[in-house]
C-alpha cells in the first residue's frame, strides 16, 4: 500500500484509534466525540485548513477551535499526525498525566496547536467569534494581502446549550463574519442520554434567525463534508454545518450511546472496534503510509506561509512597522509619554472627577498612541465612559473602527475579547457595571487562565453608585475577584492613580487587568511623581511629619479620601496617623517583605473599603479593624448610604481612638 492509495477511512481511523487508545491507557477521558468527528476533522485538516506545523503560530494561519474541549484527544491526535513537534507519541501515551502537555482539556500555551483553552462549554465558540472579528478588523486595516484566514470551530450540543453561545451566534450573524465556519457535532447525545431529554430547539432555524448560512450533511461522508466546506468558504455570512454523526463511531456495541461520551471503551470493546474497522495495529501505532499522508498535510501550508512573509516585507515601511508592532503586542513609547504628561496635568489642575471619568480622560490621551487598542462596552458606553471622541464604531459594513458595541452581552463580551487577544494584533478592553462582572466571570477566569492581556473596565464600583440600589451595588465582588489567580484588580483613588493603573494594565502581557472605577466624584489626592507608584500595589500616601505612627489607615479607591479625612481628625486629637493607598493587592503582595512591612507599619492598622471586609485581615492583623460592608447595599443618595453603613471618616477615627485606648 502506498500513500496514493491511503483512503479517507484510514486517515479518519488513525484519529479514532489514537484517541481511543489514549483514553483507554489513561483510564479517563472522552472518546465518543473524537470517534464521531474523525471524518470531519480528517477532511478539514488534510484538504482545507491553512497552517504550517513547522511554524505553528504563523499569524495568517487559519484558526481552529475545539469548542467541545472534552474531546481533547481529537486535537492531540491531529497534532501528532500532522507533525507538531510538541505532541509526540509519548505525550499521547501520557494523556491526562501530570507533567505532560496532553491535559484533560486543551490548554493554550501547553500545546502549540491549541488556539485557545476549551472545556467550559460555550467559551470556545465565543472565542472563535472574537478571532473571526479580529481577522475582519485587521484585514480592514492592513489589507487582504497580509490578513486573510478562516476560523473553524467544532462544537457539540453542550456548547450550543450554554447561554453564552447565543450571545456569540447573534453577534457573529450581526457582523456577517463570513470567514467563521462552525461544524456542529449533531449526534443527539449529551451526558445524561438523548439531547431530547432537555432540548427540542431546531438549531438550524436558530442559526438562520441569527443571520447565519446553514448546511446539513452526513458527518461521515467525506464528499458531503468537503462540499459543505467549499460552500461555507464562499458564503457572505458565517456558516453553521450541521454534521449528523454517531457518537463513538466504530465501537461495535456502544456507538450511538452516551456511554461513549466520558469513559474508556474498555479492552473488549476496543478490540472489537479494531476488528470492525480493519485496524490490526498495536495501540498508538500508525502505519508509515498513513502517517506520511498526514505529515504531508502538516507541511502543506509552508509555501503559503513563505509567500505571506514576502507580502509582509513588501508593505510600505510605515504600514509594515505598524503591522509587525501590532502582531508583537508592543506598546509604543509614546504611550508612556502621554501618561506622564497626563499625570503632570492632573497634579496641576487637581480636578474632582469620578475615576470612570478619569479613565475616559486617560483613554483620550493614550488611544491615539496605540493603533492596536480596541474598546467596547456591553451597552453602557456612556455610563462606563469607555469611548473617546476620536474612536470609531465597528459596524457590519465597516471594520476599520476601534470601538465595539457588544449590546447587553457581558459574558459574550468577555469571551469575545479573549478571542481577540488570542488572535493577536489587537489589545481589547471592554466595560460594564462592576456588579455585572458576575455575568462575565467565567470569561474573566479564562483570561487569567490563558494569561491574556484583556482589560476589564468596571464602573459603579460600590454603594457609591447610589440610588440604583443593592441590585447594582457590588459588595462581595472585589473580594471574590481578588481571589482569582493571575488577575490584577486595580481600584484607583484619583485621576493620577487611574492613569498609572491603565499604564500597568497596558504593559502587562501575561494576564488580564480589572479596573474598578467609581461613579461618584473624587478629589485628586496624589502629587506628581515620574515613578508609577501603583506598580508597588500599595504605598504610603501620607505620613506623619516625624514618621512615627500610632495608627496606619489602609484604603483603596473612593475610600482613600475618607482615610485622609480620618488622618486629619486623628491628628487633631494628638494621634499620629499614616494613610496607605492600596490600589492593587496582587502587586503589593509581590513586593519584598521588607517593603511591605515598612508600608504597613507597626502598631494599629485599620482598613476602610466600601465593599466586603473579607480579605483585609491579612493586612490589619488580629488586632486591627476593618470598616466596610457586611450586608448588601440599599437605595439612596451615595452620601447618605456611606453614613447609613458607617463608612465615614468619623467612624474610622472613632475606632482608632477606641482601639488605642483599649490597647494602652
How many other CB atoms sit within 10 Å of the CB of residue 505?
A: 23
CA-based nearest residue to 19, from 67, 59, 82, 75: 75
Which cell numbers in the block locate residue 205?
A: 432555524
| Residues 491, 493: Cα–Cα separation, whole Å | 7
Which cell numbers in the block locate residue 291?
A: 502517517
Q: Which of 107, 162, 269, 410 is catalytic?
A: 410
Continuous segment of H or E residues that includes residue 609: strand 604-612
Residues of 102-126 as b/e, b for ≥16 C-beta within 10 angstroms? bbbbbbbeebbbbbbbbbbbbbbbb
Active site residue 4: no
DSSP string, 344-406: HHHHHH---B-HHHHHHHHHHHHGGG-TTEEEEESS-HHHHT---TT--B-BTTB---SEEE-
* Spatial contact of 144 and 102, defined as CB atoms under 8 Å apart: no
Q: What is the C-alpha end-to-end distance of the chain, expressed in Å?
A: 92
| Residues 424, 114: Cα–Cα separation, whole Å | 14
Residues of 249-277 as b/e, b for ≥16 C-beta within 10 angstroms? bbbbebbbebbbbebbbeeebbebbbeeb
DSSP string, 185-226: EE-SEETTEEGGGT----HHHHHHHTT-EEEEEETT-HHHHH
| Residues 28, 111: Cα–Cα separation, whole Å | 20
Query: 4: exposed, middle or buried (C-beta count within 10 Å: 0-12, 13-18, 19+)?
Result: exposed
User: 3-class SS at 319?
Assistant: helix
| Residues 523, 106: Cα–Cα separation, whole Å | 47
Enumerate residues 6+ apart whose C-beta is below 8 A from 593: none
* Spatial contact of 496 and 530, defined as CB atoms under 8 Å apart: no
**β strands within 477-557, DSSP E:** 488-490, 513-517, 539-542, 551-555
User: 3-class SS at 496?
Assistant: helix
Enumerate residues 6+ apart whose C-beta is below 8 A from 20: 31, 34, 35, 265, 270, 273
Strand partners, 578: 552
User: 3-class SS at 664?
Assistant: coil
Give alpha helix (H) positions in 573-664: 585-589, 593-600, 617-620, 638-644, 649-663
Which cell numbers in the block locate residue 86?
A: 510538541
Annotated catalytic residues are 410
Amino acid at each position: 500500500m502506498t500513500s496514493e492509495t491511503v483512503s479517507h477511512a484510514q486517515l479518519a481511523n488513525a484519529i479514532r484509534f489514537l484517541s481511543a487508545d489514549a483514553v483507554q491507557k489513561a483510564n479517563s477521558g472522552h472518546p465518543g466525540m473524537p470517534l464521531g468527528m474523525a471524518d470531519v476533522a480528517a477532511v478539514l485538516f488534510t484538504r482545507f485548513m491553512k497552517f504550517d506545523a513547522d511554524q505553528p503560530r504563523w499569524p495568517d494561519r487559519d484558526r481552529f477551535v475545539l469548542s467541545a474541549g472534552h474531546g481533547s484527544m481529537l486535537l492531540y491526535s491531529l497534532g501528532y499526525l500532522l507533525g507538531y513537534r510538541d505532541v509526540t507519541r509519548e505525550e499521547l501515551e501520557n494523556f491526562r498525566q501530570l507533567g505532560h502537555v496532553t491535559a484533560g482539556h486543551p490548554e493554550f500555551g501547553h500545546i502549540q496547536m491549541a488556539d485557545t483553552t476549551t472545556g467550559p462549554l460555550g467559551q470556545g465558540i465565543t472565542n472563535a467569534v472574537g478571532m473571526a472579528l479580529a481577522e475582519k478588523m485587521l484585514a480592514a486595516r492592513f489589507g487582504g494581502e497580509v490578513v486573510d484566514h478562516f476560523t473553524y470551530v467544532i462544537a457539540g450540543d453542550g456548547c450550543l446549550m450554554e447561554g453564552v453561545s447565543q450571545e456569540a451566534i447573534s453577534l457573529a450573524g450581526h457582523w456577517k463574519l463570513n470567514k467563521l465556519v462552525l461544524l456542529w457535532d449533531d449526534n443527539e447525545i449529551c451526558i445524561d442520554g438523548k439531547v431530547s431529554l432537555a432540548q427540542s430547539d431546531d438549531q438550524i432555524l436558530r442559526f438562520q434567525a441569527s443571520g447565519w448560512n446553514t448546511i446539513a450533511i452526513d458527518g461521515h461522508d467525506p464528499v458531503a463534508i468537503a462540499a459543505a466546506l467549499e460552500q461555507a468558504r464562499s458564503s457572505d455570512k458565517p456558516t453553521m454545518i450541521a454534521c449528523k454523526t454517531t457518537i463513538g463511531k466504530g465501537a461495535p456495541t456502544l456507538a450511538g450511546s452516551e456511554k461513549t461520551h466520558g469513559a474508556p471503551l474498555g479492552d473488549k470493546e476496543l478490540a472489537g472496534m479494531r476488528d470492525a474497522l480493519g485496524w490490526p495495529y498495536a495501540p498508538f501505532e500508525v502505519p508509515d503510509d498513513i502517517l506520511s499522508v498526514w505529515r504531508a498535510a502538516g507541511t502543506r501550508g509552508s509555501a503559503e506561509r513563505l509567500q505571506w512573509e514576502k507580502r509582509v516585507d513588501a508593505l510600505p515601511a510605515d504600514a509594515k512597522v505598524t503591522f509587525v508592532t501590532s502582531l508583537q503586542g508592543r506598546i509604543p513609547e509614546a504611550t508612556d509619554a502621554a501618561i506622564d504628561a497626563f499625570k503632570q496635568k492632573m497634579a496641576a489642575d487637581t480636578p474632582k472627577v469620578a475615576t470612570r471619568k478619569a479613565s475616559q480622560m486617560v483613554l483620550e490621551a493614550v488611544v491615539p498612541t496605540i493603533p492596536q487598542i480596541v474598546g467596547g462596552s456591553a451597552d453602557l458606553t456612556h455610563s462606563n465612559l469607555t469611548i473617546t471622541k476620536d474612536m470609531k464604531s465597528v459596524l457590519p459594513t465597516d471594520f476599520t473602527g476601534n470601538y465595539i458595541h457588544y449590546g447587553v452581552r457581558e459574558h459574550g463580551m468577555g469571551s469575545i475579547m479573549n478571542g481577540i487577544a488570542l488572535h493577536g494584533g489587537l489589545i481589547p478592553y471592554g466595560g460594564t457595571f462592576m456588579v455585572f462582572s458576575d455575568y462575565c466571570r467565567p470569561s474573566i477566569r479564562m483570561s487569567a487562565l490563558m494569561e491574556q492581556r484583556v482589560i476589564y473596565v468596571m464602573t459603579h464600583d460600590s454603594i457609591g453608585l447610589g440610588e440604583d440600589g443593592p441590585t447594582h451595588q457590588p459588595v462581595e465582588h472585589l473580594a471574590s475577584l481578588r481571589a482569582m489567580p493571575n488577575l490584577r484588580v486595580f481600584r484607583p483613588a484619583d485621576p493620577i492613580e487611574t492613569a498609572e493603573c491603565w499604564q500597568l494594565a497596558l504593559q502587562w502581557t501575561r494576564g488580564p487587568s480589572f479596573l474598578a472605577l467609581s461613579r461618584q466624584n473624587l478629589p485628586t489626592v496624589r502629587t506628581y511623581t515620574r515613578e508609577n507608584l501603583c506598580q508597588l500595589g500599595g504605598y504610603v500616601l501620607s505620613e506623619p511629619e516625624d514618621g512615627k505612627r500610632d495608627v496606619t489607615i489602609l484604603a483603596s479607591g473612593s475610600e482613600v479620601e475618607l482615610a485622609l479625612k480620618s488622618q486629619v481628625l486623628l491628628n487633631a486629637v494628638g494621634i499620629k496617623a499614616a494613610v496607605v493607598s492600596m490600589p492593587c493587592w496582587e502587586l503589593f503582595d509581590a513586593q519584598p517583605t521588607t517593603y511591605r512591612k515598612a508600608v504597613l507599619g507597626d502598631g494599629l492598622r485599620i482598613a476602610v473599603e466600601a465593599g466586603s471586609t473579607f480579605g483585609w485581615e491579612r493586612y490589619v492583623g488580629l488586632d486591627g479593624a476593618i470598616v466596610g460592608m457586611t450586608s448588601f447595599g440599599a437605595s439612596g443618595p451615595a452620601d447618605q448610604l456611606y453614613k447609613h453603613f458607617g463608612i465615614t471618616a468619623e467612624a474610622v477615627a472613632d475606632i482608632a481612638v477606641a482601639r488605642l485606648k483599649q490597647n494602652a
